[in-house]
Amino acid sequence: MRAAALVSLVGRDLRRSMRTFWVAALGIAAGVATLVFFLGLAAGMRAVVFGKILPLDQVEVIPPESSVGSVLSMLGARPPGIDEAQARALRRAEGVRLALPRLRLAFPTSGRGGRAMFGRDVGSGEIPADGVDPTMVRGDLRPGADFEDPIGRASNRPCATDADCGAASGEFCDLVSLPVSGQPRPAGHCSPPIPAVVSPYLVEVFNGAIAPAHGLPRLGDLLLRQAEGLILEWDLGRAGLGAARQGTPRRVHAKLVGVSPRAMDLGVTVPMAVARRLNREYASEDAATRYSSVVVYLRDPSRMTEVAARVRAEGLEVRTRGAEQMGLLATAVTVILSLASVVTVLVAALNIAHGFAAMIAERRGELGLLRALGATRRDVRLLLVLEAAAIGAGATALGLAAGRAAAWGCDVVARTRLPDFPFKPDTWFVFSGRMVLGVLLFGVAACVLAALRPAWRAAKTDPAAALSGGVG
């Protein structure tokens, strides 16, 4: 039978079949709609969780965490850390795309700033900070900004206030000690601010939790550009919970020069040279030379377990921040929800099978006639299977459209009704072409499989016996 004739017959039969199959087709559509909805939601959640919150392609390598080490460190023994040789070995390890050493400031700091932007200073009693190699964040800096230790460029002119340094100089008045209320302001010297970057994670936390709680504006793209350049008064060696073991607490200035995914999550990141210099001043030589962690970026996220095992074999630890467990959980939830949808589709496919069996009994005489007029058994099979495929394709397309519409509706509700929170996405769904194609094939395949047995039986219809009955 020619393809064009087959398609024409299928098209003509479909109009009749829909009277028999519309309920089953709606079942297929409903199953497909829920399936694509859940798959899209799962993909969307994975994109947010693993794209922004818990990137699956990176692990943080840390020194061995043991209570003994901490106690020894408190007693003045060498604190745990990763030395340069170990960092170099990590960079060369198989499966590692990039290894980024980090040096945490090993002493307390606090700070405040943002008066020009928010109308009042916003501060924190504890500001964690670390240092990274400038090359790691260079691509994330605002135009014209650099990420080097500014100490060599300082004029060191004596000053009492920032105004003494002159706005045009770009310098601020760093104080040699922290001001105490009721006492004369300490002496200062003019120095460029320390460049600092923050993470998108911190911006999200600010927008989702801090800004609403304090009545501050969210940092959208525009405000964020303004925020780059924000000056922070940064008190070194003293914070809300205590003071550094050595060094004199003093006040310096830091300048926000960019937002970088390679900055520390909750804190500020400064040039490695600054971190070394300040750790030397307020902590110890070891704290200035031994890295607190190395962030390892993987070539292939699926090899995380393998890389983690290699790291542990080197006597180091891996902090995955629960990404692996979250990944497993997300996969499990996706599988369960998808299975429910698949069952819906399969039940609908069973309806299709029953529908086809009934239709074939009803059209027995007609099938006999087709055989009498020249149809082969194969033609009859093809006719019915293609009809099932067409019903499946139509129902699946309807289901896909319904699933996408439901997703769009949920996005609208989420945008307009849900309060802002960190990492609130613009859309909760991701529909890839591959997913849509896979669901389409699944819907069609379910209908085709359902029709196979009835089609085979129909093809075996004895035309003589079938034509002994009658239609028309």
Partner 1 sequence: MSETPLPSPDPAVTAHLALRDVRKRYPGGRVALDGVSVSVAPGELVAVTGRSGSGKSTLLHVAGALDRDFEGEVRVLGRSLAALSDAEAAALRHASIGYVFQAFHLVASWTVRQNVALPASFAPAPVPDLAARVDRWIERVGLAGRGDDLPTALSGGQRQRVAIARALLMEPRILLCDEPTGSLDAETGASILGLFESLHAERAMTVLLVTHEARATAIATRVLTLDEGRLVDDVAQARGVA
Query: Which positions touch partner 1 (CB under 8 A)?
Result: 1-2, 4-6, 8-9, 12, 15-16, 365-366, 368-379, 462-464, 467-472
45 vs 390, beta carbon nearer partner 1: 390
In this structure, how many other beta carbons lie within 10 angstroms of the beta carbon of residue 397?
Answer: 16
**What's the sign of the alpha-carbon dihedral 120, 124, 125, 130?**
negative
Q: Which is nearer to partner 1, 31 or 365 (by Cβ)?
A: 365
Amino acid 464 reads: A
- Residue 465 near residue 384, CB atoms below 8 Å: no
Pick the closer one to partner 1 by CB: 369 or 402.
369
Q: Find the shortest distance in angstroms from Cβ 378 to partner 1.
A: 7
**Pick 45 or 367: Cβ nearer partner 1:** 367
Distance CA(15)–CA(383), nearest Å, equals 14
**Toward partner 1, which CB reaches closer, 2 or 434?**
2
Strands 188-191, 172-175: parallel, antiparallel or unpaired by DSSP? Answer: antiparallel
- Give min distance, CB of 458 to partner 1, in A: 14
Q: Indicate the residue among 305 and 376 with the shorter CB distance to partner 1.
A: 376
CB of 20 to partner 1, least distance (A): 12
Q: Least distance to partner 1 from the beta carbon of 465, Å?
A: 8
Rounded Cα distance, 124 and 106, in Å: 17
Which CB, 251 or 371, lies closer to partner 1?
371
Helices 377-417/364-372 angle, 10° precision: 130
* Residue 129 near residue 266, CB atoms below 8 Å: no
Select from 460, 332, 327, 439 the least CA-distant residue to 393: 439
Task: Tell which residue, 146, 141, 172, has the closest CA to residue 157.
Answer: 172
Count of other CB atoms within 10 angstroms of residue 172 = 25
Cβ atoms of 138 and 257 within 8 Å: the answer is no
Least spacing, CB of residue 54 vs partner 1, in Å: 59
C-alpha 232, offset from chain centre: 30
Q: Give me the amino acid identity at 281.
A: E
Is 21 in contact with 352 (CB distance < 8 Å)? yes
Least CB distance from residue 394 to partner 1, whole Å? 19
Provide the minimum distance between the beta carbon of 345 and partner 1 in the complex, in angstroms, as a whole number: 29
184 versus 469: smaller Cβ distance to partner 1: 469
CB of 348 to partner 1, least distance (A): 25
